[in-house]
A and B are shown apart, each in its own frame.
Chain A
Amino acid sequence: MALDSGKPKFKYIGTRPNRPDGLDKVTGRARYGADISAPGMLHGAILRSPHAHAKILKIDASKALALKGVKAVVTRADFADGLSGEDWNIQENCMAGEKALYDGHAVAAVAATSALIARDAIKLIDVDYEPLPHVTDVDAAMAEGAPVIRDGAADYSVPEGLHPNVVRYFESGRGDLDEGFAKADLVLKRHYTTEAAHQGYIEPHACLAQLGADGKGELWCCTQGHWYVRQMCAAALGLEVSQLKVTPSEIGGGFGGKTTVFIDPVALALSRKAGGKPVKLVMSRSEVLRATGPTASASMDIKMGMTKDGKITAASGTYRMQGGAFPGAPVDETTVLAFANYNIEHVHHVGYDVMSNRPKQAAYRAPGAPMAAFGTESIIDEMATQLGLDPLEIRLKNAVKEGVRATYGPKFPAVGLIETLEAAQSHDNYAVPLGPNQGRGVASGFWLNWGGDTSASVAISEDGTVAVTVGTPDIGGSRASMALMAAEAFGIPYENVRVHIGDTASLGINEPTHGSRATYASGLAVIQSAKECIQKLSKRAAEAWGIDPDAVIWEDGFARPSGPNAGEFEPMSIAEIAGNMSSSGGPISGHFEASPETYGGSFGTHVVDVEVDPETGRTTVLRYLVVQDAGKAIHPSYVEGQFQGGAAQGIGWALNEEYIYGEDGRLQNPIFLDYRVPVASDLPMIDTVIVEVPNPGHPYGVRGVGETGITPPLPAIANAIAAATGVRFTKLPLTPPRVLAGIKAAKNA
């Protein structure tokens, strides 16, 4: 699906109407996961392991079952047998089998007539544990003698001689590193670490599940992708996929963390065991932090060579990432993206996916990319400082552009890195004079984006308004974007389009709203479906006029004869054609089912100014600029919102967010008081510049914009702190105790 023309002119695209779901959300009418209820509903609660690693010897639920109001208790025995691969991983993560693998791992669950009774009942379940040695640090988990999380979990890629906790291995590159480093005037090697960070969505996971003994079920849940939920739940419970219908609620944030399941199979199992009564299950914040996916933590060694005028001659990186007690740390993406911003001849990446006694990692906004950027963009910045070069100039000198072969293989189509660097360079923020203890940091980032299975439907109503049904839950204003694209395609007002998120029974399979794909892929699907409708509408007009359908054109919501030769007819409006639809051939709708692959990657460049209190090590973000390539901003406000959201989450990850484990392997900060996401007053208004280098693979030029924004902040903040303090920090987060200790150490050195 190629771009319609170079830079098309639009009537609706690029405007900023109110979002269609806005009124419901500000009035409290919108229904989120925990808002769904049913008559006769039971309430569930989950018993979780207090141990980081333990054998489960025996579970005795007799006392819980004896409590009045308790209707069902489930353990792993109530789930399907014989699963393998990721299906087994997800099942095992939702309900422990032979071992509890991390603090907070589910071991049993209860359904009762009230939430309080369910909570009391789980305390009555006796579990005999045999605690085992545990490991929660990635480097320790790879070291000789580390406790083995699960023998035989490694796949074919892992070379012999590595610890069994190393479960996947990646290696890629090109050129000759020795030759590249030999050409350099400066070669630097650094070790960097980042901590696990949680997606921090405000809405905890919640669902209402109903499953009968006949294997037919319904599930209402908060998710980014209900077809994924359906597949995962069907596998975990041994159901036929089509017998389960999943309807998504509104979603209070997901950021990748709601592309998988944690409680939904448990709620379904409870319902089945309780005779098919609906069961509501809602996580607490502590459960969210202890038992849902944060992203992986990383330990990285980066080496880079540079000429004295700033040309990168060679780069190599070794990335060790732990994604909890299962395979899946996003080290594949980390290695792919590590040096992807730059045109480097000699490059090499090695990646290790390592298991530890932590919760199973889940996707988090550009999975793996922020860690990669932290290493690359930090070392470039340090080299720029040593060589006395401007950090934006050094990036411009090495930036990739159309036709350059990427460090991960293919040649780049049209991309916008250079445009973002130039826009950052000419922005007012880059020229603001800085005071004492203040510093400016720059970093760029990239995300490939994604297409994926996509199915949509557009139906014409009798009055000529349009109902659009897509399968990608609206996380960031995508209903507004879909409505704008449909309005543009039909040439009808935005208000005449209503966008619905269909359940799993109403469309073909859809991947979740992930990979920054919704506006690109569902948008493309909506445009193509609209075009199919327009074809049918034009045909009805042609038939009414008695002319050839090819002699009809569609313009601004009207069918018109294509020219004088086609005949003289009054243009026919969409409302007029729709009004006669039943008598002219029946319903009119358009559909799209495909896995589009013409997505376009998005580059971004961030500029941040900070001030560091030299006496306390506390960092204040003074101003923050995000420049990013959107391809085409369908609804610029929501594009800016994505830019700002990515920056805000990245700032949190850089400064204060971290998973803190005690000696006992238990998570010490499972509440928002101590897991410190930024609060509103921590951040300045984040300035944005939308760069538009159209994606040649989308009719309107759309690229995904959701994920790139979290990629530059980690290094941008670290670079700014280095500029403010004169001290280079290589371990995140940059908490005040860590920064103050660094400042003191430099003073005493």
Chain B
Amino acid sequence: MKYHKPKTFEEAAQIAAGSNGVTRFLAGGTDVLVQLRSDVVTPDDLIDIKGIDGTKAITKRGDGGWDLGVAVSGAEMMEHAELKRDWPGLVEGMDLIGSTQVQGRATLVGNLCNGSPAADSVPGMIAAGCTVSITGASGTRNVPVEEIPVGPGRTALTKGDVISAVHIPPRGARGGDAYLRFIPRTEMDIAVVGCAVNLRLDGDEISEARVVLGAVAPTVVLVEDAAKAIIGTALDDGALDALGATATAACNPIDDKRGTIEFRRDVAAVLAKRAAKIAYSRAKGGQQ
């Protein structure tokens, strides 16, 4: 195994492109190091990107949106009051991952690139409409987060691609987001079902919405029918029922040690409704 510590993302991409074996990028290391120690993955080239300038920066853009470096940890996001005020759902999703110790290292991009359908930070990123910059052989391109996961443990990134930044849209007026996950315990667990809702209000009515489910299909899913079920409504009981039904319909889960198909379909509806209520209340200025 070779350990690399490049100074730029271009250099990191070149090292990856030139590798003849298994490549892993190291930022927080909370997945890579665990996989390495448990013999799940033994990389030939381990490329440490957290020494690259700007990877620890949280920057507010002129348009009111945010740029996050790829080594920004969950703890740093949680302690950033303004970011948390803008995107509480996204930040809380990240905060649910692992323990206090893990939070000191774990990153959004690591969670995304691990490719787990149960990744807690990914539904919130997709619901918010986040994009990522990808630096590759042919330069840097900007890609919506929902295009990155393609299957359990698999992403759309190709050899020589490295994610170099996360971009969160401006919050804007009368918007709110929320993320809920179901676990049998209270913490230190993995989502059996996850759901993020991001919406905007016009008066009491929802004018924009994105509903995203985790752990109910081979990838995190953006459920357009669920968004349609609540757009144009004030989240009345009928809208909530429709939201639940569309969430259930969007599930394509498996039976496994963590939950049954039936359970995941039922709970997807429950979490979609609960998350939508929180997002709605936040959009109205509620502190929930």
User: CA separation between A681 and B183, bound complex, in Å?
Assistant: 13
B263 & A737 in contact (Cβ 8 Å cutoff)? yes
With beta carbons under 8 angstroms apart, the residue of A616, A676, A735 that contacts B267 is: A616
Q: 1/0 contact trace for B182-225 toward A, CB 8 Å?
A: 10111111101000000000000000000000000000000000
Q: Does A669 contact B (CB under 8 A)?
A: yes
B257 & A655 in contact (Cβ 8 Å cutoff)? no
User: CA separation between A656 and B266, bound complex, in Å?
Assistant: 19
A679 & B188 in contact (Cβ 8 Å cutoff)? yes
B263 & A682 in contact (Cβ 8 Å cutoff)? no
Closest A residue to B273 by beta carbon equals A615
Q: 1/0 contact trace for B233-275 toward A, CB 8 Å?
A: 0000000000000000000000011111011001100100000
Nearest CB of A to B36, in Å:
11
With beta carbons under 8 angstroms apart, the residue of B38, B184, B262, B267 that contacts A656 is: B184
Give the chain A neighbours of B185 by CB distance below 8 A. Answer: 656, 676, 678-679, 681-682
Closest B residue to A615 by beta carbon equals B270
Nearest CB of A to B219, in Å:
21
Nearest CB of B to A189, in Å:
28
A673 & B260 in contact (Cβ 8 Å cutoff)? no
Nearest CB of A to B179, in Å:
16
Nearest CB of A to B92, in Å:
16
User: CA separation between A615 and B38, bound complex, in Å?
Assistant: 37
A668 & B263 in contact (Cβ 8 Å cutoff)? no
A673-705 residues at the B interface, CB under 8 angstroms? 673-674, 676, 678-679, 681-682
Q: Does A500 contact B (CB under 8 A)?
A: no
User: CA separation between A264 and B184, bound complex, in Å?
Assistant: 36
Q: 1/0 contact trace for A503-538 toward B, CB 8 Å?
A: 000000000000000000000000000000000000
Give the chain B neighbours of A413 by CB distance below 8 A. Answer: none
With beta carbons under 8 angstroms apart, the residue of A616, A656, A673, A740 that contacts B190 is: A673
Give the chain A neighbours of B182 by CB distance below 8 A. Answer: 616, 618, 736
Closest A residue to B261 by beta carbon equals A737
Q: Does A741 contact B (CB under 8 A)?
A: yes
Q: If A660-B257, A669-B257 touch, does A616 touch B187 (CB 8 Å cutoff)?
A: no
With beta carbons under 8 angstroms apart, the residue of A668, A679, A740 that contacts B187 is: A679
With beta carbons under 8 angstroms apart, the residue of A119, A615, A673, A681 that contacts B186 is: A681
Nearest CB of B to A627, in Å:
26
Give the chain B neighbours of A119 by CB distance below 8 A. Answer: 39
Q: If A655-B184, A681-B186, A740-B263 touch, does A616 touch B270 (CB 8 Å cutoff)?
A: yes
Closest B residue to A123 by beta carbon equals B39
Q: 1/0 contact trace for A578-622 toward B, CB 8 Å?
A: 000000000000000000000000000000000000011110000
A736 & B190 in contact (Cβ 8 Å cutoff)? no
Nearest CB of A to B24, in Å:
18
Give the chain A neighbours of B266 by CB distance below 8 A. Answer: 615-616, 740, 744
Nearest CB of B to A508, in Å:
43
Give the chain B neighbours of A679 by CB distance below 8 A. Answer: 185-188
Q: If A616-B182, A735-B184 touch, does A676 touch B263 (CB 8 Å cutoff)?
A: no
Nearest CB of B to A341, in Å:
31
B260 & A737 in contact (Cβ 8 Å cutoff)? yes
A681 & B184 in contact (Cβ 8 Å cutoff)? no
Q: 1/0 contact trace for A404-441 toward B, CB 8 Å?
A: 00000000000000000000000000000000000000
Q: If A735-B184, A737-B259, A740-B263 touch, does A673 touch B270 (CB 8 Å cutoff)?
A: no
Closest B residue to A677 by beta carbon equals B185
User: CA separation between A668 and B186, bound complex, in Å?
Assistant: 22
With beta carbons under 8 angstroms apart, the residue of A284, A674, A678, A744 that contacts B258 is: A674
Closest A residue to B259 by beta carbon equals A737
Closest A residue to B190 by beta carbon equals A673
User: CA separation between A656 and B267, bound complex, in Å?
Assistant: 18
B189 & A676 in contact (Cβ 8 Å cutoff)? yes
A668 & B257 in contact (Cβ 8 Å cutoff)? yes
Q: 1/0 contact trace for A617-656 toward B, CB 8 Å?
A: 1100000000000000000000000000000000000011
User: CA separation between A286 and B263, bound complex, in Å?
Assistant: 27
B263 & A741 in contact (Cβ 8 Å cutoff)? yes
Give the chain B neighbours of A668 by CB distance below 8 A. Answer: 256-257
With beta carbons under 8 angstroms apart, the residue of A284, A656, A736 that contacts B263 is: A736
User: CA separation between A626 and B205, bound complex, in Å?
Assistant: 51
A673 & B189 in contact (Cβ 8 Å cutoff)? yes
Give the chain A neighbours of B192 by CB distance below 8 A. Answer: 736
User: CA separation between A616 and B192, bound complex, in Å?
Assistant: 11
Nearest CB of B to A334, in Å:
27
Q: 1/0 contact trace for B168-191 toward A, CB 8 Å?
A: 000000000000001011111110
Nearest CB of B to A622, in Å:
13
Give the chain A neighbours of B188 by CB distance below 8 A. Answer: 673, 679
Q: 1/0 contact trace for B37-71 toward A, CB 8 Å?
A: 01100000000000000000000000000000000
User: CA separation between A639 and B184, bound complex, in Å?
Assistant: 30
Give the chain B neighbours of A681 by CB distance below 8 A. Answer: 185-187
User: CA separation between A616 and B263, bound complex, in Å?
Assistant: 8
User: CA separation between A309 and B136, bound complex, in Å?
Assistant: 79
User: CA separation between A744 and B266, bound complex, in Å?
Assistant: 10
User: CA separation between A656 and B259, bound complex, in Å?
Assistant: 12
Closest A residue to B42 by beta carbon equals A120
Give the chain B neighbours of A673 by CB distance below 8 A. Answer: 188-190
User: CA separation between A438 and B259, bound complex, in Å?
Assistant: 24
User: CA separation between A232 and B260, bound complex, in Å?
Assistant: 43
Give the chain B neighbours of A660 by CB distance below 8 A. Answer: 257
B145-167 residues at the A interface, CB under 8 angstroms? none
A692-735 residues at the B interface, CB under 8 angstroms? 735
Closest B residue to A669 by beta carbon equals B257
Nearest CB of A to B116, in Å:
12
Which of B39, B185, B189 lies at the interface centre, i.e. has the most chain A CB atoms within 10 A of its CB?
B185
Give the chain A neighbours of B267 by CB distance below 8 A. Answer: 615-616, 736, 740
Nearest CB of B to A623, in Å:
16
User: CA separation between A298 and B142, bound complex, in Å?
Assistant: 56
User: CA separation between A618 and B184, bound complex, in Å?
Assistant: 6
Q: Can you identify 13 A-B contacts, CB atoms within 8 angstroms?
A: A286-B38, A615-B267, A618-B184, A660-B257, A668-B257, A673-B188, A673-B189, A674-B190, A681-B185, A735-B184, A736-B267, A737-B259, A741-B262
5 new A-B contacts at CB < 8 Å, known A616-B266, A736-B263: A655-B184, A674-B190, A679-B186, A737-B262, A740-B263
The 7 closest A-B pairs by CB, nearest first: A737-B263, A681-B186, A615-B270, A660-B257, A668-B257, A737-B260, A679-B188
